[in-house]
Structure 1
Amino acid sequence: MAKSTMPVMPDVPETPDLATSGGETTAVAMTGKATKATKAATTAKREGAVAPARRGRAATRSGKTGRHVTPAPVAQQYLLNAAVELFHTEGVRAVGVDAVVKRAGVNKMCLYRQFASKDELILAYLDHMQTASLARIDESIAKRAGEPRAQLLQIFVDLAERASRPGYRGCPFVNVAAEFPDPAHPARQSVANYKAEMVRRFTELATAAGLREPAPLVDALSLILEGAYAASQTFGPGSAPLRILPTVARQLIDAGMAGALAAA
């Protein structure tokens, strides 16, 4: 039987060690063999996941009860880490709060002390993913400093590479939009905010490259960006549509800079 492939987790920004932060909440001791914990920690580090502070450092004893307690910010980070992994790989609606608290190693009361509802946890997850995703886009832009035309292309070169890795799960915002059809849902507002940030970056780069009317090129690039996310899930990672993505992006950028793209 073929070995299963671990999903590629999104890159996430580093967070400070929260073990010394104030506030407390009760935590349930995590179980499992040390070898499994070590393997999980190694995988998380390799894939860019935020590693929670060690419980041995974070936990203290609560007065006369002798129960181990975890500072509230640390417990919140455990929960967010679990949400990032589960929501992104399995879907927001498919994952219940029971699965999140089990993965985080805390109890349900702890979750509701940190997040008033599952919807609030979803919004925290999306805020986290926006920070991580935009940081990754900015890393692509930084590779070609001072070359706005090349910076636009680099975004798609790097996306094609990421989307060709086994286990790639696409754009978390596209996935969430598909799960929440009501445009008034707060999660959909988070999706709109993220996409607006991408449009802003495209517009700034196209303008810096010399386009007086950047909208046609920005719209075209936004379209193939969304198409690449979808193709990574329908055709699969490393498929032909993803391999040709940088070429299509280059052709669109050339056409846009030449004024050959008509406004909508």
Structure 2
Amino acid sequence: MVKKLPSARERILGAANRLFQGAGIRATSLDAIAEKAGVTKRSVYYHFRSKDDLIAAYLEARDEPNLALFQSWFAQAEGDTAARVESIFRHLAQSARHPKWQGCGFLRTSVELVDRPGHPALVAGRQHKKRVEAWLAQVLQEDHGEEAAMALARQIMLLLDGAFAVVLLHRDPSYLESAGDAAARLIRATSPG
């Protein structure tokens, strides 16, 4: 069986992912992305109208895999819903212990683009965060009911994204574990019965 080589677009997105995650979006030039992808700058513009479109595509490409990873960690965990949500935080803390971990790409991009609220990458980031929140509300709904599950999912998102920020600041992944413990306690404290 012949292994299919990645297309130029896939190589560009892969290069953008590595460079944006490592150095940030503003510090990464299209020239650097083209070089890392093994294409010309003209080829980058053939696939993406602008750097802004490439930044948005980079986040859009991360959306489904990130959510699927959370869902996988949740599904593989043992225990009640609270323990399974807490396992997401534990896995993230484990990832944050890797020396090349740079935090949440969606949040890092939003910080770099804070002065451009209509930027397509911020739209992609907001959509991703809302999808994660909606999924959390869905898994919490059985035990909490729709309205309470939505409020609880929002609180868990605050714990998650707040922990991402504090871990980057202190370089201490245990903050993710503490946030996971808080999320589990919150879920259990608000469970009926």
TM over 0.5: yes
Q: Matched residues in 1 for 2:14 and 2:154: separation?
A: 34
More helix by share: 2
One-letter amino acid matched to 2:43? C
1:116 Cα deviation from its structure 2 partner:
1.6
For 1:194, the equivalent position in structure 2 comes to 128
Q: CA deviation at 1:215?
A: 3.1
Number of the residue aligned with 2:165: 230
Secondary structure of residue in 2 paired with 1:170: coil
The 3 A distance-change label for structure 1 pair 243 and 150 is: closer
1:144 deviation in Å?
Answer: 3.7
Matched, 1:161 2:94: yes
Normalising by structure 2, report the TM-score.
0.88
For 1:228, the aligned partner's letter is A
* Aligned counterpart for 1:108 among listed residues 41, 57, 60: 41
1:24-173 to 2 correspondences below 5 Å: 53=6, 74-144=7-77, 147-173=80-106
Q: Check whether the contact 2:15–2:33 (CA below 8 A) recurs between aligned residues.
A: yes
Q: Which runs of 5+ in 1 are unaligned?
A: 1-16, 20-52, 54-73, 260-264
Please point out which of 245, 259, 262 is paired with 2:179: 245
| Residues 164 and 232, structure 1, Cα contact 8 Å, conserved in 2 | no
How far has the Cα of 1:152 moved from its partner? Answer: 2.1
Kindly state the Cα deviation for residue 237 of structure 1 after the two structures are TM-superposed.
Answer: 4.0
Paired residues in the alignment total 189
* Greater C-alpha Rg: 1
Q: Distance in 2 between matches of 1:92 and 1:139?
A: 29
Distance 2:181 2:93 in 1: 10
Structure 2, unpaired ranges of 5+: none
**Post-superposition CA distance 1:64-94 (Å, at most 9, x none):** xxxxxxxxxx111111111010011111111
Counterparts of 1:167 and 1:237, CA distance in 2: 14
Contact 2:134 2:150 in 1 (8 A): no
Q: Which has the higher contact order (CA 8 A, sep 6+)?
A: 2
Deviations 1:238-259 (A, max 9, x none): 3x42342332222122222259
Match of 1:203?
137
- 1:28-72 Cα shifts (integer Å, max 9, x gaps): xxxxxxxxxxxxxxxxxxxxxxxxx4xxxxxxxxxxxxxxxxxxx
| Stretches (4+) displaced over 4 A | none
Distance 1:164 1:258 in 2: 36
What's the CA shift for 1:160? 2.2
| Cα deviation 1:190-231 (Å, max 9, x = unaligned) | 111001101101110110234452233222211110111102
Distance 2:88 2:64 in 1: 16
Q: What TM-score do you get using the length of structure 1 for normalisation?
A: 0.66
SS in 2 for 1:209: helix
Secondary structure of residue in 2 paired with 1:214: helix
CA separation of 1:169/1:146 partners in 2, compared to 1, >3 Å: closer, same or farther? same
RMSD of equivalent CA atoms: 2.1
Match for residue 180 of structure 1 among 104, 108, 113: 113
